Amino acid sequence: MSVIVIIGSQFGDEGKGKVIDYLSQNADFVVRFHGGNNAGHTVVNRRGKFKLHHIPSGICHPQTKLVIANGVVIDPFILFEEIENLKKQGISLRNRLIISSRCHLIFPYHKQLEAIYESVKKGKNTPQPTGRGINPVHADKVSYLGIRLADLFHPKIFREKLKINLQIKNILIKAFTGKNLSFEEIFRPYLKIAEKLKPFVRETSIILQKALEEKKNILFEGAQGTFLDIDWGIYPYVTASSVVAGSINAGSGIPVKKINKIIGVVKSYTTHVGFRPFPSKMPAKITDFIREKGGEYGTTTGRSRQCGWLDLELVKSAVKISGINELFLTKIDTLTGLKKILVCKEYQYHKKKSSYFHLSTDSLWQVKPVYEEFNAWSEDISICRKYRHLPLNAKKYIERIEQLVKVPIKYISVGPQRKATIKR
């Protein structure tokens, strides 16, 4: 049996979709446990290219069950569309996909509220929402206003809850947009979509507890990245949920002591979307090179990502927070062709060495990165399948990262395809 957790060690977009596809070859279960359709994972293998938002990335292994556990927030229409799209691409999720009835649901008012908050904050000092209603749905969850998937199977209860929500939300929505949301336009379609999702809905914690007893292989698929975590990220430039390894407990009902291994996914450079302190930002010319070569545009929003050198102060902090035991280094092929590669090995604040944990969001704006410089390589490494095939400079880069982070790099991804992976 193995229980493995995959965690993004940066700001998301580390290539976790590919990593999960690769590591789930022997998994009995792949489990999503937090976030919603703000996550975007890309899986590329010989069956094609799949863009996923709700559905766990283990789709291409027919023996693998896919669990959307209670910690995930769902937009039921998007989820159903994803199921249908996968069917069209030849992937049937019948008897494979299991959705928790405890999942909280996204409603049209969540998206409207998100847009209203954004219009008032006008872009500055905001985490740049994805437009999916993710923050307001989490706010409703802790305000005891949330509507869960289970509620849709009890129309009387659903009616009551929806009425209360609209009574409150329509005051704000009317004030900002001049229009009310209609009860009927939400109520009926949600009842209908619930019937379509019903065959997939179960109590996922029971299934996962049983899987533990039967010593199955379970892979927990983290979405986003450590520095988007609601507590440990660079607040307020964060997501609405907890994304660190411990959140598998709240998000799925599996005890943390059952975890055998926590793998941190690290992209060979740093990217993020929007506005936040970014100490290791690259010069514009190198950003353009990396953005084009690495396809650094959001899977969910299409927004172009900011690019920076690998920031090991962040990776070291992610290791400490989640207890990461192994690293999966991705997109090292994107660095091919540069002359020099920099790595930020620590932070200086007011000319003194400092650490992520000592620094507030405000002070992170003033941090100076301390860089180590590496010679790059020009050989095409995307064809390498063994560590010894990599150019010497790539090996030096990898081994120095290991030394600085003090965690072994067990896997190196040299391309988007499953097979473009080196296991050490």
| Residue 34 is a catalytic residue | no
Question: b/e map of 328-360 (b: 16 or more CB within 10 Å)?
Answer: bbbbbbbbbebeebbbbbbbebeeeebebeebe
Contact call for residue 12 and ligand GDP (CB under 6 A): yes
CA distance 346 to 317: 11
Exactly one of 64, 416, 418, 422 binds ligand GDP (CB under 6 A); that residue is: 416
Quote the strand ranges of 217-289, DSSP E: 217-221, 261-267, 269-272
| Closest separation in Å from C-beta 350 to ligand GDP | 34
3-class DSSP state for residue 224?
coil
Q: Which is nearer to ligand GDP, 268 or 354 (CB)?
A: 268
Contact call for residue 58 and ligand GDP (CB under 6 A): no
Residues 288-307 that bind ligand GDP (CB under 6 A): 294-295, 299
CA distance 374 to 338: 10
Q: Which is nearer to ligand GDP, 76 or 294 (CB)?
A: 294
Indicate the helix (H) or strand (E) that contains 329. Answer: strand 326-330
Which is the catalytic residue, given 41, 53, 110, 138? Answer: 41
| Closest separation in Å from C-beta 22 to ligand GDP | 9
Stretch that binds ligand GDP, among 10-18, 208-216, 283-291, 318-326 (CB under 6 A): 10-18
Contact call for residue 13 and ligand GDP (CB under 6 A): yes
| Closest separation in Å from C-beta 137 to ligand GDP | 20
The two tokens of residue 282 are: 């690259």
Residues 20 and 41 sit within 8 Å (Cβ to Cβ): yes
Stretch that binds ligand GDP, among 186-194, 386-394, 401-409, 413-421 (CB under 6 A): 413-421
| Closest separation in Å from C-beta 343 to ligand GDP | 17
Tell how strand 340-349 and strand 368-375 pair up: antiparallel
Q: CA-CA-CA-CA torsion for 211, 217, 223, 227, nearest 10 degrees?
A: 110
Which is the catalytic residue, given 13, 140, 229, 333? Answer: 13
Contact call for residue 9 and ligand GDP (CB under 6 A): no
Q: Total residues contacting ligand GDP (rule CB under 6 A)?
A: 23
| Residue 231 is a catalytic residue | no
Closest CA to 364 of 252, 236, 239, 250: 236
Indicate the helix (H) or strand (E) that contains 325. Answer: none
| Closest separation in Å from C-beta 95 to ligand GDP | 25
Residues 311-350 that bind ligand GDP (CB under 6 A): 330-331, 333-334
| Closest separation in Å from C-beta 127 to ligand GDP | 16
CA distance 208 to 67: 9
Q: Which is nearer to ligand GDP, 153 or 391 (CB)?
A: 391
Stretch that binds ligand GDP, among 113-121, 180-188, 361-369, 410-418 (CB under 6 A): 410-418
Residues 16-55 that bind ligand GDP (CB under 6 A): 16-18, 40-42, 44
Cis before 236? omega within 30 = yes
Q: Burial, 38: exposed, middle or buried (Cβ in 10 Å; 0-12, 13-18, 19+)? A: buried
Q: Which is nearer to ligand GDP, 28 or 333 (CB)?
A: 333
Compute φ and ψ for 250, nearest 5 degrees.
-65, -35
Closest CA to 16 of 163, 158, 224: 224
The two tokens of residue 127 are: 């985490």
Residues 245 and 258 sit within 8 Å (Cβ to Cβ): no
Q: Which is nearer to ligand GDP, 218 or 243 (CB)?
A: 243
| Closest separation in Å from C-beta 175 to ligand GDP | 36
CA distances from 37 to 66, 87, 271, 374, 408 (A): 16, 19, 20, 38, 32
Contact call for residue 264 and ligand GDP (CB under 6 A): no
Q: Which is nearer to ligand GDP, 113 or 243 (CB)?
A: 243
Enumerate binding residues for ligand GDP (CB under 6 A): 8, 12-18, 40-42, 44, 294-295, 299, 330-331, 333-334, 413-416
Name the residues annotated as catalytic.
Answer: 13, 41
